[in-house]
């Protein structure tokens, strides 16, 4: 960058002062080093302060005053003002294959591209149970009482146990009759007939007890259902 115009005029003044000092040496005398006056140096320092020069520029001017040289018209570029060279990144061009490459059938199968996701159904609901629940809400304004549900569940469990026991007894009777038939074919029926017949008669009596219990349980369930239905009808008439 160029210095200011007053500094340029002062440089001309310093050159004139240096030339006048060189003439005082005479023709045959050796020229002395130029020495600027104190007034000139003070004026130059004042102008440097007003011009807001940086430290490097001030150092150059002070060196010129010390050596008696002329002031530089151009200043050296500062490190901060040096142009920053941007690094140019090399563009890497990717090679595109000329022909499309086909995949083999084994690679397609191993990639699992044709495997469908397994269908996971959501939680299923008992439609009949939901239907009864909505009917109770519309009729009585509330769902079925939990106590009656618990009692009916216990009764159903008892009925299921009775049915299982009934079937077990029937199977035991059939097994013993089949055993007697096998022993008869072998000619050994006499020694087992009394024992097997007593066991069969005992299980027949148990079947009769189970049938009576089943009939009582069934009648009790029917009675409870009729009572619940009558209470629901009464609540509906009250509403």
Q: What is the pLDDT of residues 43-82, one digit of tens each?
A: 777 887 777 778 888 888 788 777 777 666 665 555 444 4
Quick one: pLDDT at residue 74? Answer: 62
- Work out the percent of the chain whose per-residue pLDDT is above 90: 2
Q: How far apart are CA 201 and CA 173, in angstroms?
A: 9
- Model pTM above 0.85: no
Q: How far apart are CA 155 and CA 168, in angstroms?
A: 20
Find the angle CA(215)-CA(216)-CA(221) to the nearest 5 degrees: 100
Quick one: pLDDT at residue 108? Answer: 72
Quick one: pLDDT at residue 2? Answer: 43
Q: How confident is the model at residue 219 (pLDDT cuts 50, 70, 90)?
A: confident
Maximum alpha-carbon separation in the chain: 172
- Please name every residue paired with 2 in a beta bridge, in sequence order, or none if there are none: 74
Q: How far apart are CA 8 and CA 82, in angstroms?
A: 24
Average pLDDT over residues 129-156: 68
Tell me the pLDDT tens digit for each residue of 95-106.
655 566 777 777
For residue 85, is pLDDT > 50?
Answer: yes
Average pLDDT of the chain is 71
DSSP state for residue 75 in the 8-state scheme: P
Highest mean pLDDT among 26-30, 104-108, 193-197 belongs to: 193-197
Ordered alpha helix ranges (H), the chain: 5-23, 38-51, 55-67, 105-110, 127-140, 146-186, 190-238
Higher pLDDT, 135 or 13: 135
183 exposure class (CB count in 10 Å sphere: 0-12, 13-18, 19+): middle
Q: How confident is the model at residue 132 (pLDDT cuts 50, 70, 90)?
A: confident
Highest mean pLDDT among 45-49, 131-135, 194-198, 222-226 belongs to: 194-198
Average pLDDT over residues 152-161: 62
Average pLDDT over residues 17-40: 58
HEC per residue, 109-168 = HHCCCCCCCCCCCCCCCCHHHHHHHHHHHHHHCCCCCHHHHHHHHHHHHHHHHHHHHHHH
Q: Are the C-beta atoms of 193 and 180 separated by less than 8 Å?
A: yes
Average pLDDT over residues 146-154: 54
Q: Which residues contact 117 (CB under 8 A, 6 or more apart)?
A: none
Higher pLDDT, 177 or 25: 177
Q: Which residues contact 183 (CB under 8 A, 6 or more apart)?
A: 189, 192
Tell me the pLDDT tens digit for each residue of 162-188.
667 888 888 998 998 899 888 888 888
For residue 207, is pLDDT > 80?
Answer: yes
- Please name every residue paired with 74 in a beta bridge, in sequence order, or none if there are none: 2
Q: Are the C-beta atoms of 210 and 169 separated by less than 8 Å?
A: yes
């Amino acid at each position: 960058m160029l210095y200011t115009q007053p500094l340029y005029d002062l440089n001309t003044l310093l050159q004139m002062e240096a030339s006048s000092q060189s003439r005082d040496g005479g023709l045959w005398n050796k020229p002395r080093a130029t020495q600027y006056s104190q007034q000139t140096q003070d004026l130059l320092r004042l102008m440097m302060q007003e011009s807001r020069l940086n430290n490097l520029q001030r150092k150059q001017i002070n060196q010129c005053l010390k050596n008696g040289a002329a002031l530089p018209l151009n200043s050296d570029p500062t490190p901060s003002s040096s142009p920053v060279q941007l690094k140019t990144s090399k563009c890497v061009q990717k090679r595109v294959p000329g022909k499309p490459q086909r995949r083999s059938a084994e690679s397609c199968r191993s990639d699992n591209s044709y495997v469908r996701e397994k269908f996971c159904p959501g939680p299923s609901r008992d439609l009949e149970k939901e239907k009864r629940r909505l009917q109770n809400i519309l009729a009585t304004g509330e769902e079925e009482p939990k106590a009656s549900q618990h009692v009916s569940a216990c009764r159903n469990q008892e009925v299921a146990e009775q049915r299982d026991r009934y079937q077990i007894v029937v199977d035991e009777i059939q097994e013993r009759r089949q055993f007697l038939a096998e022993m008869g074919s072998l000619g050994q029926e006499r020694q087992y007939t009394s024992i097997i017949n007593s066991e069969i008669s005992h299980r027949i009596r148990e079947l009769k007890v189970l049938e009576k219990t089943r009939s009582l349980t069934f009648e009790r369930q029917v009675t409870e259902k009729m009572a619940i239905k009558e209470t629901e009808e009464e609540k509906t008439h009250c509403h």
